[in-house]
Amino acid sequence: MILQSDDEFVRCPGDMEPGTENEESQPCQLPDTGSMLFAHKDKIIHCLTIIGQVEGHYLLSDRSKTTKYEHILPLLVSIAQDERIDGLLILLNTVGGDVEAGLAIAEVISGLRKPTVSIVLGGGHSIGIPLAVAAKRSFIAKSASMTVHPVRTTGLTLGVPQTFEYFRRMQDRITNFVVENSGITPERYSELVLNTGELVTDVGTILDGEDAVREGLIDSVGTVSDAIDALYELIINQ
């Protein structure tokens, strides 16, 4: 738990009850969700990590690093309802994953009334892009990258017009969300998605940190410290 005053505290689910041992003031870590609470100056911030592959309705291999949406969605709701939590910091290092699961998480983040800041560390690829832009302020590390590409699928696919229409509509959902939550235009985003001159065996574009900012996807290049400072500023100015 993290002490706020002599008689107030913020505890994560699963913490020991007050009065039991190991009650020292320290960040609370939740291994299952990769999240923790910490204090910055006089504010309480919840730090959430989205890593590896965003897992959808089907379980991935035990050897894969995954972010499970059934863990993240209720956690985000609890953050929204807990008046003791002042803001949300999101650390992203993801290869992408299930489109609907990723969009579900992104929609909840964008709908939070509390200040939110995201930072892409390593990579924020594919469905990681909507997750990055969903926050009210977004950062990307200078060494990080983001891969923009069309929706794709694995397994059996029927070669009928309805299949292609389904993919087009799903891509439109992603494009519309990204455009509404960032500074890029729909025309430019579509150009990046359908670029055939960069990836050898795929369609799309790889953006490094400065390119992502230049294109309007991300607000700023920065570090975790920059993201925390920006979140604190959002909190005190809300």
- What pLDDT does 124 receive? 97
Percent of the chain with pLDDT over 70: 86
Report the 10 Å Cβ neighbour count for 169.
10
- What pLDDT does 61 receive? 87
CA distance 185 to 212: 13
| pLDDT-based confidence at residue 158 (cuts at 50, 70, 90) | confident
Report the 10 Å Cβ neighbour count for 114.
19
- What pLDDT does 11 receive? 52
Cβ-in-10-Å burial (0-12, 13-18, 19+) of 22 comes to exposed
- Please list the active-site residues: 126, 149
| pLDDT-based confidence at residue 2 (cuts at 50, 70, 90) | very low
Q: What is the pLDDT of residues 65-117, one digit of tens each?
A: 999 999 999 999 999 999 999 999 999 999 999 999 999 999 999 999 999 99
Q: What is the mean pLDDT of residues 192-218?
A: 95
Strand-pairing partners, residue 38, are: 45
pLDDT score of 154 more than 90? no
- What pLDDT does 16 receive? 40
CA distance 177 to 62: 31
Q: pTM for the whole thing?
A: 0.85
Integer angstrom CA distances of residue 12 from 31, 107, 188:
12, 23, 42
| pLDDT-based confidence at residue 31 (cuts at 50, 70, 90) | low
Cβ-in-10-Å burial (0-12, 13-18, 19+) of 102 comes to buried
- What pLDDT does 14 receive? 40
Q: What is the mean pLDDT of residues 142-150?
A: 97
Helix (H) or strand (E) holding 89: strand 87-97
Q: What is the pLDDT of residues 40-71, one digit of tens each?
A: 999 999 999 999 999 998 888 888 899 999 99
- What pLDDT does 157 receive? 78
Query: Shortest CA distance to 141 belongs to which of 61, 221, 83, 216?
Result: 221
CA distance 114 to 235: 8
Query: Shortest CA distance to 180 belongs to which of 79, 101, 111?
Result: 111
